Amino acid sequence: MVLVETMFFLLFQHLVLTSGNAVIGHHHHRHHSLLTDKAALLEFKKAIVYDPQSTLANWNEATRVCNFTGVSCNKKRHRVSELLLQDYELVGRLSPIISNLTGLRNLSLVGNHFYGTIPSEIALLRRLHHLLLDRNSFHGSISDSLALPSQLTIVSLLQNNLTGDIPPTFFSNCTMLKVLDLSNNFLSGKIPIEIGNCPNLWSLNLYNNQFTGELPLFLTNNSLANLDVEYNHLSGELPIKFVQKLPNIVYLHLSNNNMISHDGNTNLNPFFTALTNCTSLEELELAGMGLGGVLPSSIGSLGINFSNLLLQENQIFGSIPPNIGNLSKLVVLNLTSNLLNGTISANISQLSNLEQLFLSHNLFASAIPLALGQMTHLGLLDLSHNTFSGDIPSSIGNLVRLNYLFLNNNLLSGSIPPTLGHCTELYKLDLSYNRLTGGIPRELSGLSEIRIFINLSHNQLEGPIPIELSKLEDVQEIDLSSNNLSGSIFPQISSCIALTLINFSHNSLEGKLPDSIGELKNLESFDVSGNHLSGRIPLSLNKSRTLTYLNLSFNNFEGRIPSGGIFESVSYSSFLGNQHLCGPVAVKPACPQKNHLFRSRIFLIIFTLVIFISTSLSIICCVIAFRHIKALISAQRTETARKPAQPELVHNFPRVTYRDLSDATSGFDDQRLLGMSSYGRVYRGVLPDGTTIAVKVLHLQSGNSTKSFTRECQVLRRIRHRNLIRIITACSLPDFKAIVLPYMANGSLDSRLYPHSQTGLSSGSSDLSLIQRLNICSDIAEGMAYLHHHSPVRVIHCDLKPSNVLLNDDMTALVSDFGIARLLIAGGANSALENMGNSTANLLCGSIGYIAPEYGFGSNASTKGDVYSFGILVLEMVTRKRPTDDMFVGGLSLHKWVKNHYHGRVEKVVDSSLMRASRDQPPEVKKMWDVAIGELIELGILCTQESSSTRPTMLDAADDLDRLKRYLCGDTTATFASSLGISSSTLEDD
C-alpha cells in the first residue's frame, strides 16, 4: 500500500507540475513530502551498482527516511535537508531523481566512485546551499543547462574527470556563491567572464586543468581572498590590472603557467609594485614559469602578514634586495633554480620567523653570511649547487631547530665547525663536494637525532673516523667517501642500527673489517673500496638478508671469500685489486690445496672409525630420538600456530617519520596529489636533496585501509622484479600509515591512455604507439607471471587495471597497488590462500569492470582471476575503451563487443589513433602491425573467457607477447595465440 500510494503521488505531482499548477495544499504537502523524498532516495539507491551492505543497509521501506544513513531532516519543513555520504565507496551514477529532494540544503558525495555526467537537474534544487562532489569519477562536460542554484554558497567538483569549457550559464544565478573549486579536472577553454556575476566569491580554485588565454578582468568585487590557477596554460603578462582589483587577496597562486613578466619578460617591478596595494596578501606562488628580471625592491613592501614566497624555477637574476628583510613574518622563501648572484645581505637575518630558505641551483659566489646564524626559526637551509666559498660559519650552530642543512656542491673550504653538533634536531646533513679540510669533529656525535643521512663525501677531510659517530643510532646513510681519512673502522659502528648505506670508499683506511658489520640488520649497501684494509672478509656479512650491494675492491684482503648470502650474487668486480683473495666467485682462483693425498688418507681412517661408532650408537638412540623429535615437532607446530603470521611489517624498512613525509609533500597539499585508490591518496613528494618520491597515505576511517596497508607491506617486502613496483619505506603510526614508493615520471598507464594536461594531448587521443602498448602489455605479463609462478611467495594481485600500472622514465611498466592481494601457500595443485586472519577476507576482489565473473558467484581469488583482469586490460589497450564505458549496458561487455566485431569489422573497435598510424606505414610494415593488433585482440579474448579453466596462464601470455615482439622485430617464424593451445575458432560463446 505504501508503494502504491507513493507511485500515485509521484504521478499526481508530475501532472500538476506539467500543467503549470505548482500550488499544493499545505496539509497535502505535509502529508506526502517525506514520502516523496523517501521514494526519490530509494530510486537514487537503485542507480548505485556497488553498495557495501553496511552503508545503505537501512535504506528500505521499513525504515523512516529521516533514519536513513547519511540523511538528515528539517523537522519544521518535514523534508530531507541533508544527504551526506562521504567516503562510502559507492559506485554508480548520480540519478536525476535527486532533483525531487526540493528541500535539500546540503548534498555531499565526496570520496566515492560516482561516474557519468553530473545531471543538470541539480539546478532544480533551489534551496541547496552546499554541493560537494569531490573525488569521484564524473566525466564529460558541464551541461549548458546546469545553472548554479541561487542559494548555493559552496560548490566543489574537485578531482573528477570533467572536460570541455565551463558554460557561461553555469554562473547565471551565483549571487550567493562564496567558494568554487573545479581543480584537478581536465577543463579547457578560457575562464568565462561570467564568473564576475558572483559578487560574494571568496575562494576560486581552478588549478590543474587545461585553461588557456589570459587571466580575465572578470572579478569586480573586493571579496576574493583566494585564487589558485596553478598548472594550467594561462598566458600573457603577469596580471597587474587584475590584482589591482583584488585589494583583499590573501592567497595568490599562479605557478606553472605560461605567463611572462613585463617588457618582454625582463621586468618584474610593475607586478610587485601592484601587489603592494594588496595589504592582506600572505602567499604568492609564481614558480615554474621562466619569469625574467631582477627581484625589485618593492618586494619589501608586501603585506605585513606576508608569509610564503615561491619563485623557484624561473630566470630571475641579480641579487636579493636587502629590504626583503622587511618581511618580518615570512616563513618560506624559495628561490631555487634561478640565476641569482652577488652577495646575500646581512639584512636577511631580519626574517626572524623564516623556517625554510631555498637558494640552491643559483650563481652565488660569495661567502655564506654570518647573519644566517641569527635566524633561529630555520628548519631548512639549502644553499647547495652554487659557488659559495670561504668557511662554513660557526654561527650556523645557533640554528637549534634546523632539520635539513644542504651546503653541498659549492667551493667551501676550512674545517667543519664543531658547533654543528649543537643542531640536535638535524635529520639530513650534506656537506659533500666541497674543499673542506681537517678532521671530522667529534662534536658531531651531538647530532643524535639525525634520521636520514650524513654526507661528507668528496672533500679533503683527514684523520680517523671518530668513534663518537657510533652514537648516531637513527642515521640511515653515512657517506664519507673520497676523502683522506685514515685509521680503522671501529667495531661500535654496529650501534648505528638503522644504517642502510655505508660508503667509506676512496680513503686511506686500514686494518681489519670488524665482524660487527654483519650485525647491521638493515644494511643494503656497503662500499669500502679503494682503501688499505686487510685481513679476512668477515663471515658475518653473509648473514645479512638486506645487503644487495657490496664493494670491497682495491684493498689488501686475503683468504677465502665467504659463501652464502650476498656472496652468492656478487660478481668478481666486488673484489678487484685484492691479490690474496680466493674462492668461488667467477674469475677468482680457487684456494690452493696442500698435502692433498695425506689429508685424504687421514680423512678416510677417521671417516671409517666414525661410521663404525655411529652405527652402533644409532640403533640404541633411534627410537628414543624419533619419539623425542616427534614430540618437539608437535610442540613447535602448536607454538607456531599461536604466533602472528608475520613480524612487524616495517621492521626492515628505512625509518621515516610523519614529519619527513609532511615536509616532502608540503603538508600533503592537494596540489601534490597524483591520484587516489579505494584506500588512500598518493602524493608527489620532493625530498630536500631533490629526490622525487610517491607517498601513498591510507585512509584510516575504514578498517579495510589498515588491512590494505598490512597486506601491501607484506607483499612488497617479499617480491622483487623489474616489472613490479618496489617499496622504499613505510611509516606506521596508530593514526597514520603511509607507503613510500619511487616516483614514476610518466604516471600511470591510465593517464597515458586517457591523457590530460601534463601530456598536452586532448582527451580524445593517446600518444602511445603500437610498439609501446605491446611492450607495456609484455611488461605487465612478465610481472604477473613472476607473481603467479616464480615469486618466493605466490601472489594473486586481485586489482589489476591501468591505474595500477605505472610507467618509469623509459616507459617500462611496473605493476603496483597490492592493497588487496592474496598470498598462496605452495602446494602444487592443492595450493591454498594463505591464512592471514581477516586481513583480506572481506575485500572486493578487484575493481568494477575488471572483476572475473566467477568472483560474482562467491569463488575464491585465483590466478585465473588475474588473467581475466589482464585480458580486459589488453582489450582496453587496443580499443581505448574503459570496461565501464556508458555503451556497455544491457549485458554488453568489452569482451563481447570486441568479440562481435573481431572478424571483418576490427576497425570499429581498434583505437582510431592506432588505425591511423597503421595506415601511414609502408605496406610490409602495415601488414605486420595489422597482425600484431589482431594477435593482441586474440590474446585479450582468450584471457577473458567466461570459464576460468579455459583461460591461459600468465606464463603463456608472457611467452606469447614475447614472440609477438620478436615478430615485429623481424622474426617471421614466431607464432602467437596458437601457442596457448586455444585458437579463435574454438573460443567459447558467451
User: What domains are there in the chain, each with its CATH number?
Assistant: 2-107 (3.80.10.10), 254-349 (3.80.10.10), 648-743 (3.30.200.20), 746-986 (1.10.510.10)
Which residue numbers are catalytic?
A: 799
**Mean pLDDT comparison of 762-766, 884-888, 976-980, highest-scoring range:** 884-888
CB neighbour class for 336 (10 Å; exposed up to 12, middle 13-18, buried from 19): buried
Q: State pLDDT tens for residues 529-566.
A: 999 999 999 988 988 888 988 999 999 999 998 888 88
The bridge status of strand 283-285 relative to strand 251-253 is: parallel
Mean pLDDT, the chain, whole residue set: 81
State yes or no: pLDDT of 716 exceeds 80: no
Residue 842 has what pLDDT?
Answer: 38
- Beta carbons of 375 and 354 less than 8 angstroms apart: yes
Q: Which helix (H) or strand (E) holds 897?
A: helix 894-901
What's the chain's Rg over C-alpha atoms? 34
State yes or no: pLDDT of 829 exceeds 60: no
Residue 681 has what pLDDT?
Answer: 81
Q: Binning pLDDT at 50, 70 and 90, where does residue 245 land?
A: confident
C-alpha cell at 771: 610498439
Q: Which helix (H) or strand (E) holds 50?
A: strand 48-50
* Distance in angstroms between the alpha carbons of the first and the last residue of the chain: 41
Q: Binning pLDDT at 50, 70 and 90, where does residue 107 land?
A: very high
Residue 443 has what pLDDT?
Answer: 87
Please state, for a pLDDT cut of 70, what percent of the chain lies above it: 80
Q: Binning pLDDT at 50, 70 and 90, where does residue 633 land?
A: very low
Our measurement of the distance from residue 59's CA atom to the centroid of its chain's CA atoms, rounded to an integer in Å, reads 36
Query: What is the spatial order of strands in the sheet that 729-733 belongs to?
Result: 673-677, 680-686, 692-698, 736-742, 729-733
- The H helix count followed by the E strand count for the chain is 16, 51
Give the span between the Cα atoms of 359 and 309, in whole angstroms. 12
- Beta carbons of 714 and 793 less than 8 angstroms apart: no
Q: Binning pLDDT at 50, 70 and 90, where does residue 605 land?
A: low
**Mean pLDDT across 349-371:** 93
Q: Binning pLDDT at 50, 70 and 90, where does residue 624 land?
A: low
Q: Specify the higher pLDDT residue, 221 or 959.
A: 959
C-alpha cell at 85: 555520504
Q: Which residue has the cell 663404525?
A: 612
Q: Specify the higher pLDDT residue, 519 or 484.
A: 484
Q: Binning pLDDT at 50, 70 and 90, where does residue 594 land?
A: very low
**Mean pLDDT across 354-362:** 94
Q: State pLDDT tens for residues 906-921.
A: 777 888 788 777 777 7
**Mean pLDDT across 231-255:** 91
Residue 132 has what pLDDT?
Answer: 95
For residues 913, 914, 920, 926, the Cα torsion angle rounded to the nearest 10 degrees is -170
Q: State pLDDT tens for residues 934-987.
A: 899 999 999 999 888 889 999 999 999 988 988 887 765 555 544 443 333 334
Nearest CA to 945 among 890, 870, 888?
Answer: 870
Q: Specify the higher pLDDT residue, 71 or 445.
A: 71
Q: Binning pLDDT at 50, 70 and 90, where does residue 315 land?
A: very high
Residue 838 has what pLDDT?
Answer: 36
Residues 6+ apart with CB under 8 A from 868: 850, 851, 852, 853, 943, 944, 948, 951
Residue 970 has what pLDDT?
Answer: 72
Low-confidence winner among 177-181, 336-340, 585-589 (lowest mean pLDDT): 585-589
Q: State pLDDT tens for residues 55-77.
A: 888 999 999 999 999 999 988 87
Residue 590 has what pLDDT?
Answer: 53
Nearest CA to 753 among 761, 742, 745?
Answer: 761
Residue 832 has what pLDDT?
Answer: 46
What angle, 0 to 180 degrees and rounded to 10, lies between the N-to-C axes of helices 770-785 and 863-879?
170
DSSP, residue by residue, 937-990: HHHHHHHT-SSGGGSPPHHHHHHHHHHHHHHHTT-TT---GGGGT--GGGPPP-
State yes or no: pLDDT of 377 exceeds 50: yes
Beta bridge partners of 335: none
- Beta carbons of 461 and 480 less than 8 angstroms apart: yes
Please state, for a pLDDT cut of 90, what percent of the chain lies above it: 42
Low-confidence winner among 48-62, 175-189, 204-218 (lowest mean pLDDT): 48-62
Q: Binning pLDDT at 50, 70 and 90, where does residue 820 land?
A: low
Give the span between the Cα atoms of 436 and 224, in whole angstroms. 52
Looking at residue 79, what DSSP letter applies? E
Q: Binning pLDDT at 50, 70 and 90, where does residue 488 land?
A: very high
Residue 382 has what pLDDT?
Answer: 94
Q: State pLDDT tens for residues 835-885.
A: 443 333 334 467 888 998 888 777 888 889 999 999 999 999 999 989 988
- Beta carbons of 830 and 900 less than 8 angstroms apart: no
Residue 809 has what pLDDT?
Answer: 85
DSSP, residue by residue, 477-502: EEE--SSEEES---GGGGG-TT--EE
